[in-house]
Structure 1
Amino acid sequence: MKNGEIVQARNVYERAVEKLADEEDAEQLFVAFAEFEERCKKMERARCFYKFALDHIPKDSAKDLYRKFMAFEKQYRDKEGIEDAIVGKRRFQYKDEVRKNPWNYDAWFDYIRLEESVGNKGRIREVYERAIANVPPAEEKRYWQRYVYLINYDLYEELDAGDMERTRDVYRECLKLIPHEKFSFAKIWLLVAQFEISQLNLKGARQILGNAFGKAPKDNIFKKYIEIELQLGNIDRCRKLYEKYLEWAPENCYAWSKYAELERSLAETERARAIFELAILDIWRRDWWRDPNLYRRLPRGKPIGRTENLILEFSWFGESMGNKDSAFAEDV
């Protein structure tokens, strides 16, 4: 075949692909085009066309195409070609799995890891975006738990691509999608807040955590927010946060104890004592009717729960301050 005929033939194939690529029998056209390039000794063109075709034809309709591609690679293989063939086979498999079930998040994770191993940033982003577009079909937490792990998308954007604004947009879109009135994930709120802190946007982090208090208050969120403000030396903010924490969970002995511990660390003895007394008064009101002998047992027996531990802690606090009368130190 002369050069002029080769160019004309290639032009005909290219026009055919443009018009017939979506037809049911397009596989035969793709195979014929690839074999044409192979006969013309244009191995890289043939290889590229095989890969292009495999990316655009559903697996069920591309069995012959894939078989021909593998035969091509075996004949003209090199190390890079073999690796590409393996990647292509796995990509083919994952694309078919997620096409059949878009909510198979484990298949999406495998697909994403494959693309990350290849390192094509454009393809990685494309697969991530296709994955997170498949929002769980029901507002039940068990359906959302695997989906939420796709937040790794943000970690990729932030750490690898270095696109901070895009990271921020996807984080916030994730928060919008989760039906917080039914369930939520403290980890997501904390990840978003930590991201804002890493960007030196303290105001943004506080806004995120404040929204978490209103929409989905959880122990871990209160603890982390208090930890952040304590590291910054904002004691008054810590006090306000402990107050909100205890408004939300007045039975939380850990919160009462840590609040008192904060005041004690600041040498605010009277504040610490008042917090202990208020805690025990509150516990007394709630627990006395369930066990009238609770406090009488403490000096003689081992603690059996957080409530008793808090009372003993107050006792030890009173003794350390030299005031045994206010601590439950003696058998009553």
Structure 2
Amino acid sequence: MAAEQLMGETRECQEDLIVKNKVVDQAEVADYLICKRREFEESIEHGRSNIDVWITYVKWEASLKEVAHARSICERALEEVVGYRNPSLWCVYAEIEMESNFMDRARKVLDRAVTLHPRVPQLWYKFIELEERLGNVASARMLFERWMCWMPDQQGWLSYIKFEIRYNEIERARQIFEKLVQCHPRVESWIRYAKFEMKNREVGKARNVYVRAVEKFAASDCKVAGFPEFEKRCKETGRKRGLDNIRKVQKGIKDDDDMVW
């Protein structure tokens, strides 16, 4: 039975338990729960690799406030390869603990998750969200630092930078940019860094970033786009002309005039 069908039938059965706005007696409720759990268990038995069935089962138990049952099912699912490797299951597990106000349990679940799967951004984001929700900015920062040790993609670094900017930690954000351009030494990383400095009205620092980028990529075919335009905005026409000349030299175009910086 598909997970969507099972969940749909579950909702219908729950509605049937209400007769003229009055809940039926406890015996019928107990029978209903036994019946639905049996159906879920049979679905799992016939499709243990179907993670959707596991997650539907977990969410159903959580909707009944049966947190202990939901927790038990999560642990069983994690014993299966399909569950162990599935980030969504880990996140659902943590979210159930969080919604039930078991924050320490949620933290332990997510710590297990990022330890086992340190290269899955979704798990780090969930863990950081938990700490921010609790107002633990320092703990969230430590998680970012722990994550950055695994050298994630550029988006991971940018998320860390945005985190620091949200808390007006501009110098910390600058330090992270320095690490970003070392971890991902691409032109776009340097340009983002320079634009960050410009946004903070640090013209001198922005120019320094551009100059370092030009020097770094001078021997390659990469072009540091935006630097001449930057100097033009800053009314440094001489510098702009010098940068235009660099581009011409890189393209093999001769210019008789002296290069000006």
Q: TM-score, normalised by structure 2?
A: 0.73
Q: Give 1:136 shift.
A: 4.3
Residue 196 (structure 1) aligned with residue 137 (structure 2): no
- Contact 2:151/2:183, CA 8 A, preserved across alignment: no
What does 1:231-310 align with in structure 2 at a 5 Å threshold? 231-253=166-188, 255-287=189-221, 310=224
Find the aligned partners of 1:229 and 1:196 in 2 and give their Cα distance.
14
- Contact 1:112/1:127, CA 8 A, preserved across alignment: yes
1:108-158, Cα deviation, whole Å (9 max, x unpaired): 012123323433233222222322333449xxxxx83xx210111111111
Aligned equivalent of 1:316:
229
Q: Are residues 267 and 85 of structure 1, via their aligned partners in 2, closer, same or farther at CA, if it must alter by over 3 Å?
A: same
Q: Give 1:275 shift.
A: 0.8
Identity %: 21
| CA-based RMSD | 2.8
Find the aligned partners of 1:229 and 1:287 in 2 and give their Cα distance.
33
Q: Give 1:273 shift.
A: 1.0
Q: Give the AA of the match of 2:177.
A: Y
Aligned equivalent of 1:167:
106
1:20-42, Cα deviation, whole Å (9 max, x unpaired): xxxxxxxxxxxxxxxxxxxxxxx
Q: Give the AA of the match of 2:101.
A: G
What does 1:79-90 align with in structure 2 at a 5 Å threshold? 79=19, 80=24, 88-90=34-36
Find the aligned partners of 1:134 and 1:195 in 2 and give their Cα distance.
26
Q: How many residues are matched?
A: 222
In our comparison, the structure showing a higher alpha carbon Rg is 1
Q: Give the AA of the match of 1:314.
A: F
SS at structure 1 position matched to 2:152: coil
Find the aligned partners of 2:124 and 2:230 in 1 and give their Cα distance.
35
Q: Give the AA of the match of 1:163.
A: F
> Tell me, which stretches of 5 or more residues in structure 2 are unaligned?
1-16, 249-261
Greater relative contact order: 1 or 2 (C-alpha under 8 angstroms, separation 6 or more)? 2
> Tell me, which stretches of 5 or more residues in structure 1 are unaligned?
1-76, 138-142, 289-306
Find the aligned partners of 2:177 and 2:218 in 1 and give their Cα distance.
20
1:256-313, Cα deviation, whole Å (9 max, x unpaired): 122112222333222111211222333343326xxxxxxxxxxxxxxxxxx5xx51x2
SS at structure 1 position matched to 2:149: helix
What does 1:114-153 align with in structure 2 at a 5 Å threshold? 114-136=60-82, 144=85, 147-150=86-89, 151-153=91-93
Aligned equivalent of 1:297:
none
Aligned equivalent of 1:51:
none
